[in-house]
Amino acid sequence: GFAVDCSTRMDEIRFYIDALKPSQLRSHVDPMLREVEDYFGKWGDVGVVDLKYEFNHILMLIASRCLLGKEVREKIFGEFYTLFTEIEEGVNLVSFMLPYIPIPVNRRRDRARIKLTEIVTEILRSRKICNRIEEDVLQKLMDSRYKDGRCTTEAAVAGMIIALIFAGKHTSAVVSTWTGACLLTHEKFLDAAFNEQKEIMRTYGDKIDYNVLLEMETLHSCIKEAGRMNPISFGLVRQAQKNIIVRTKEGVEYDIPKGDTLVNLVMLTHKLPHIYKDPKVYDPDRFRSGRDEDKVGGKFSYGTFGGGRHVCAGEAYAFMQIKIIWSHLLRNFELKLTSPFPKTDWSKYALEPKGKVMVSYKRYRVPGI
């Protein structure tokens, strides 16, 4: 990740990109679908749930299956989930500013990180000893090579996969929850997403594959708009590598000397009225063809998944798993938000809905398909 030199970091970003490119993502659809169907199949006919908890759990199941592999999913999922939760709890503003302050949450985080590394290392060694090759991202990272021909080390693979799980699971859980809160308080777009599922089912039946997911444009826009209105990060931090001049839309110029740190405050960029019309309004149509407000505004107008050299390599993976979850919920349940619309928890470094997001459900099946 970032605790290495630039050349090594760029190689490791390439490993991520290669492991999560479309040709690889296609193989993850069926495992994701099985996890989603099995998980929500255990819900009753009616009930009340906390969306935050449910999404955290199902997305960790997906991550353990697709990223880590069957060793974790089938044997030690409970232990892994508990340890990873302790890492997540250690990612807050206090820990970000004072990462080594000896408080309980940091101690639990550090112990969990050591134990997770041991677990991943044991899996790597077991695969090598047994000459066993699996179809998961962990295997792709094991098999990756740096440009100078070096193999990845156990420590590097463990670090990369833990970072990837945090980015893929935690971020997706937050965006999934905001998507639910937004859809369930905006009937127009909930109906639009539901009707899209009906149309897709008329064409493909119950079949969902990578190409079918790409056709869920309305759902995609609903997810993207939830991310715009409720970004996960305060901002994107970059350091100027050379002297540059920044020109505002009003024509004012600023000299930025080499070495200065710049911050793109995503939570403000996403609310600029000259980029997004009525920016405080939940309007997924702003991303549809003909408006494309984020593209018209410039390539860094939408920053939920970062941008530039450090853009999230797992963006397509994130959208894919979120769409699989929400397409299943829309097809099988009537949902109602029973708690107030959540506020943002500003105590977290990775921003998320504050408190529980309670939803009542009633099992339902799209009729006439």
Domains of the chain (ranges, CATH numbers): 6-230+270-363 (1.10.630.10), 233-264 (no CATH)
Strands 236-239 and 244-247: unpaired
Query: Can you give the pTM of this predicted structure?
Result: 0.92
Lowest mean pLDDT among 114-118, 165-169, 254-258: 165-169
Euclidean distance between CA atoms 366 and 368, whole angstroms: 7
Q: What is the pLDDT of residue 1?
A: 58
Q: What is the mean pLDDT of the chain?
A: 91
Asked if residue 312 belongs to a known ligand binding site, the reply is: yes
Q: What is the pLDDT of residue 367?
A: 60
Say if residue 2's pLDDT is above 70: no
Say if residue 69's pLDDT is above 90: no
Q: What is the pLDDT of residue 52?
A: 96
Contact 242, 234 (CB under 8 A): no
Contact 284, 225 (CB under 8 A): yes
Euclidean distance between CA atoms 214 and 220, whole angstroms: 9
| Percent of the chain surpassing pLDDT 70 | 98
Q: State the pLDDT confidence band at 174, using cuts at 50, 70 and 90.
A: very high
Say if residue 368's pLDDT is above 60: no
Helices marked H in the chain: 6-19, 22-25, 29-40, 51-63, 70-75, 77-89, 93-97, 104-130, 137-143, 154-165, 171-183, 187-204, 210-214, 217-229, 266-269, 293-296, 315-332
Lowest mean pLDDT among 16-20, 41-45, 193-197: 16-20
**DSSP code, position 65:** I
The token pair at 222 is 């609903």
